[in-house]
Structure 1
Amino acid sequence: MRDLGAGFKYLLKGQRWVARHGKQFGFGLLPGLITLVLYAAALVALALWGADFVGWATPFADDWTSPWQGLFRGLLTAVLFALALLLSVITFTAVTLLIGQPFYESLSEKVDRDVSPDGTAPESDLPLWRELWISARDSLRVLVRALCWGILLFGLGFIPVLGQTAVPAIGFVVTGFFLTQELTSVALQRRSVELRDRLALLRARKSLVWGFGTPLAVSFLVPFVAVFLMPGAVAGATLMARELLGEETEDGERAAGESAEGETAEAEAGHPGPYGV
């Protein structure tokens, strides 16, 4: 429970940080707005022509009598649109981070310098094109995992009672984990932490991750809210990444030292060092 509250506090700290740095917040809105327009256009197109697509994809139902043909194709159209909405929530962060990679890298560095005792921040020695490639490759790997979870949960959603209660709650928790993974990757990739080690860090502190990512996943259901929260989410994820790695903050204490439970979890997971290598 303590880590759940700590995760949520990092989300709030990130929003407060960008509120104090208005210029960073303003630039941070642009990638989210671009992504929102692209996703909105795709969903509108699906709403307009989804039924036609389902009809084209199910020629075997052309000879079905009424009302079975309409019910069958109507259900498939609704399922297709609902799945598209789920995928848009899961992939929104990854696409926004990819579009806004240069800005979010800069924002994350500024957060690190602001809270670091010596005012420095880890910097990547890789060229921009290489960072973009690594980010896109890792995001694709994570999205494949997220897609598998999404399809599984979507199928379980048809189970009476369970599908309308427990499954949506689990869906928000799972989505929150993947959102946190994408957001912390900005700071962790700059520290040369590989995807496998990033996932190990997050799994060792699941409660912290859920406290940060689950409220964010719920808020991301409202498109414009997602756009406005993205800069602060990146800032908060950078602060949380420092705790996951046990880095010092400006008060001279190890960030991870605030949670003895988290350190115990890392030790039990066999985490070999602060950078997971």
Structure 2
Amino acid sequence: MSDLGAGFGYLIKGQRWVFGHARWFGFGLLPALVTLIVYAGALVGLGYGADDFVAWATPFADDWSSPWLGLLRNTLVVLVFVLGIFLAVITFTAVTLLVGQPFYESLSEEVDRSEGGEVHESGLSLWRELWISARDSVRILVRVAFYGVLLFALGFIPVVGQTVIPVLGFCVSGYFLSEELTAVALQRRGMVLKDRLTLLRGRRMMVLGFGAPLAVAFVVPFVAVFLMPGAVAGATLLARELTRTPEPEPVPSSPYTLHKD
């Protein structure tokens, strides 16, 4: 449980860091705001076009009598819009990090610099970094989609589906959210996706303590925008902890050790 609390502590420390460095807070808001505007426009367009899309997709129901035609198509319109919101929520962080790659990398480097020690640099070109980030984000989203379908199916189990499954859903979302956010710092340290996932599995409770509360907060888009800079800062602090080399334990001296006079 100590790791769980420590993970949450890094989330709080990240928010404190950006509020103590106002310029970097504003700097980190820009990509999230741009992404939010694009997503909001897409959802508005979906809201206006969902009726036409459903009518186009269900020509077999054109001759159905009332109320079955309206019931079918209205239900499908709602499902299409809910699916759009779900996709927006699970892809928001990945797209924001991709849009703001230079911004968040600079922010992460500044956090490393303020904490002391080596400031790692990837040495890759911007386009190469964008390609790696996009490729890894797709791989993560495939994993999220798999678990999402599984949890959706388990959600139909009475009682468990309405209590345990939503909690598991936020834990899964938080775990992969942590992977996406720590990738900014860990990628600069030369770690590929497979190595990053292995590293996170080694401190699973700490990762959940960081990511699960953030996943709950990120359900609200405007909250996600304002927490994003601090989330990147906190993820950098978390990455420093995960990659820290433990100090060797001192070897106890033997009572039989001979000492020279």
Provide the TM-score with structure 2 as the length reference: 0.89
Amino acid at match of 1:64: W
**Corresponding residue for residue 73 of structure 1:** 73
Determine the C-alpha separation between the residues in 1 that align with 2:45 and 2:151: 25
Residue 95 of structure 2 is aligned to residue 95 of structure 1: yes
Deviation at 1:161, TM superposition (A): 4.0
Percent identity of paired positions between Structure 1 and Structure 2? 66
**Corresponding residue for residue 196 of structure 1:** 194
Q: Return 121-130 or 26-35, whichever deviates more.
A: 121-130
Deviation at 1:193, TM superposition (A): 0.3
Gaps of 5+ in 2: 250-261
**Corresponding residue for residue 244 of structure 1:** 242
**Corresponding residue for residue 18 of structure 2:** 18
Contact 1:108 1:238 in 2 (8 A): yes
Amino acid at match of 2:97: L
**Corresponding residue for residue 223 of structure 2:** 225
Question: Which structure has the larger Rg over C-alpha atoms?
Answer: 2
Residue 173 of structure 2 is aligned to residue 175 of structure 1: yes
**Corresponding residue for residue 257 of structure 2:** none
**Corresponding residue for residue 140 of structure 2:** 142
Deviation at 1:182, TM superposition (A): 0.5
**Corresponding residue for residue 41 of structure 1:** 41
Amino acid at match of 2:187: Q
Deviations 1:41-73, CA, capped at 9 Å, x for gaps:
111111222122122112222223322222222
Deviation at 1:158, TM superposition (A): 4.7
Gaps of 5+ in 1: 248-253, 258-277
Deviation at 1:159, TM superposition (A): 4.8
Deviations 1:82-105, CA, capped at 9 Å, x for gaps:
222222111111100111100110
Deviations 1:165-194, CA, capped at 9 Å, x for gaps:
333222211111111110000001001101
Question: Per the alignment, do residues 69 and 157 of structure 1 end up closer, same or farther by CA in structure 2, a change over 3 Å counting?
Answer: farther
Contact 1:54 1:76 in 2 (8 A): yes
Q: Report the number of matched residues.
A: 248
Secondary structure of the residue aligned to 1:152 is: helix
Deviations 1:25-56, CA, capped at 9 Å, x for gaps:
01111000000001111111112221221221
Provide the TM-score with structure 1 as the length reference: 0.84
Question: Per the alignment, do residues 159 and 70 of structure 1 end up closer, same or farther by CA in structure 2, a change over 3 Å counting?
Answer: farther
Deviation at 1:121, TM superposition (A): 0.6
Determine the C-alpha separation between the residues in 2 that align with 1:159 and 1:56: 34
Contact 1:14 1:237 in 2 (8 A): yes
Q: Return 9-18 or 153-162, whichever deviates more.
A: 153-162
Contact 1:112 1:238 in 2 (8 A): yes
Amino acid at match of 2:10: Y
Q: Return 137-146 or 92-101, whichever deviates more.
A: 137-146
Contact 1:86 1:150 in 2 (8 A): no
**Corresponding residue for residue 110 of structure 2:** 110
Determine the C-alpha separation between the residues in 2 that align with 1:54 and 1:153: 26
Deviation at 1:147, TM superposition (A): 2.0
Amino acid at match of 2:164: A
Deviation at 1:137, TM superposition (A): 0.9
